[in-house]
Chain A
Amino acid sequence: MRTESRIYLGVGSFFLLILIVYFLWSKESTGSVLLLASAGLGILPGLYMGWWSRRMKPRLEDAEVVEPRDISGIVGTFPENTIFPFTLGIGAWLTGLAFVFGGWFAVIGMGFVISAAFAATIESKRSSLAEAANRRGAED
């Protein structure tokens, strides 16, 4: 995790450097605010990841030499098919069109969005239960 954190911190501090030079030189507000936001966007996740990298066990991804027994087993659970991103996408689209063609598009669109959100939650709850069962099965 340390390298990941350093990338963010490096990019973020560079934005900060540009911000300081730019602000002191130009006193222009729009660009300074945007640079400040960008610097924050780099430094915050960088600090967070750096903070975590001290507290977590070293990850296999960062190991220079890996033992074969380290790399067999379950990586994670990955879904294969689900309709709800499509439903959500169509809902978001119709809601977007409401900004052009009038509010009634939003009514239909939000219907799609809300139903997709509900259904996806239920689906993912079910699959995380199944995943737990799967893990138990794998450990046995």
Chain B
Amino acid sequence: MTSVLSDEKTTSNVEAQRPPGGFYRWITSVDHKVIGKNYMYTALTFMFIAGAMALLIRTQLFNPNGHVVGQQTYNELFTIHGSIMLYLFAGPFAFGGFANYIVPLQIGAPDMAFPRLNNLSYWLFLTGGTTMLLGFFTASGAAAFGWVAYAPLSSNPYSPGPGPDLWIVSIALVGFSGIFTGVNLVTTIFYLRAPGLTMFRMPLFTWSMLVTGILILVAFPVLTAALVMLYADRHFGAHFFSVQGGGVPVMWQNLFWFFGHPEVYILALPFFGIISEVVPVFAKKPIFGYRGMVFATLAIAGLSTGVWAHHMFTTGTVLLPFFSALSLLIAVPTGIKVFTWIATIWGGQIRFSVPMLFAMGFIPAFVMGGITGVMLASPPIDFYTHDTYFVVAHFHQVLIATTIFAGFAGIYYWYPKITGRMLRERVGRWNFWVTYLGFWVTFMPQYLLGLRGMPRRIAVYSATDGFTFLNRVSTVGAYVMAIGMALFLVNVVWSWRRPVAAEANPWDGATLEWATSSPPPAHNFHSLPPIRSARPVWDVNHPEHADAAPVIAGGDESAD
């Protein structure tokens, strides 16, 4: 269709550099696409490492009094499993990987607002992540106090040695990396949108990333501050969290969860955004209630800072009705999102390609985790189930629904754009169904285990506890999930060895990233379609069903 931009739009580098090749190019590139891909590869690598740890954990619990690993090793394993999944995979995969790659494309920008800062934040993420793993190579082992690092267990007398310090430094580095990315995202979205792409024409994924960026700026500095206090307690004799020196141990929990609960939404919102992109495209309809979706996202952001102490109901030191009310309320915007997705496919023409399969698998999995979340928002029920496998099952269902199912919907959806190749449909289907089956088999028994009294983070249980059968089912499920995830690797290797070229717009996508070639050229666009609605590419490809009537303003002819 009409291209209304001249080629001058894409200004390239100012100095006539000789483009470096290979390794040096990889290290020095500040192109958001290269950095985004680096983030994704790195985060997925971390995910597979932490997944292997999860298998070890499940193997240990297969038998009562398991002897696969010792208790100290077990504590280290679940600590690093949780830390990797939450700090190094879920977040960076979304706001470092997807957001970096997709947001500039969706808003028609040539790059992120601060390309050099973007590159720096990747290096902080990579070095920070490596630092966490270094803990396993120290004499006293890695950190072993859980990913929440409750003081005073995480302070010096109870967790000595370099492992915990490496964990602190690692999280601090990754935290700075996240803050830089947050700044970069917000600035990019505010200042680099293509002409005509008003805020309320932005794709919902970009909206999610904007809100995520704001939440990062709220949450991560609190974590960094808490880590500095913890380090000072450990090494400089400060007493922020020790009773003997007049400190308050519960303050750690307040600080941590003030970061930690917005963090949960930092992890979830980008993946909601992916679903909001995938569902309309494969139903061939626009999203149902765009503005409602935007306000639901903003409402989640607003409420997310008012619910931190629902992780602390059983401390007996928090205002129960306040946190219970806000935690229950946050189910409302989340529910709006689910109903919106269902209303979007209502009356559509649903194509069950692999991205849609993952997206539709996401909804029941997430609803299940959400419903148990509402139960946990009620303090009396939380007293009963807190720190049991009920909670473990709840947050694994929520987080795996978002990061794995929605995340893989995103991978399968944007893989053609990112690599210029298609992933195989058939292997993709197997990848989905096997993982999905494993998911339910792994986590449904854990709800029951929690209700029958199995606390989380225990390395051994007794044969007389009655936990054996359910644990075995769960372990089998975990291995099925692992096979499902391995099929993803098979798919990637297959598409790499025997490539099938992807077109610019293989899914009939509606947003700007589908207006450029797959993969996009340096600085992304040679020309942009006219932007007169939230679906500029749809308007061009389906003029008879366009969202916006084409505006015949003076100058349209002269542009051609």
Contacts and interface: CB of A to CB of B under 8 A. Distances in A.
Interface string B159-171: 0001001101100
A61 interface: yes
B157 interface: no
Nearest to A76: B11
Nearest to B252: A30
A79 B19 CA distance: 12
A66 B530 CA distance: 8
Contacts of A77: 11, 14
B198 A64 contact: yes
A67 B553 contact: yes
A57 interface: no
A81 B28 contact: yes
A98 B193 CA distance: 41
Given A72-B8, A130-B15, A79 B302 contact: no
Contacts of B9: 71-75
Interface string B108-143: 011100011101101110111001000000000000
A86 B319 contact: no
A93 B4 contact: no
B325 to A, nearest CB: 10
Q: Is the interface of A mostly helix, strand, loop or mixed?
A: helix
Interface string A41-73: 110000001000000000011111111111111
A61 B197 CA distance: 6
A32 B57 CA distance: 39
A82 B30 contact: yes
A81 B19 contact: yes
Contacts of B383: none
A13 to B, nearest CB: 9
Contacts of A83: 27-28
A86 B190 contact: no
Contacts of B306: 15, 18, 22, 35
Interface in B431-482: none
18 contacts: A18-B305, A22-B319, A25-B322, A30-B251, A31-B309, A34-B258, A61-B191, A63-B196, A63-B198, A66-B531, A76-B11, A79-B13, A79-B14, A80-B12, A92-B124, A97-B169, A101-B162, A126-B15
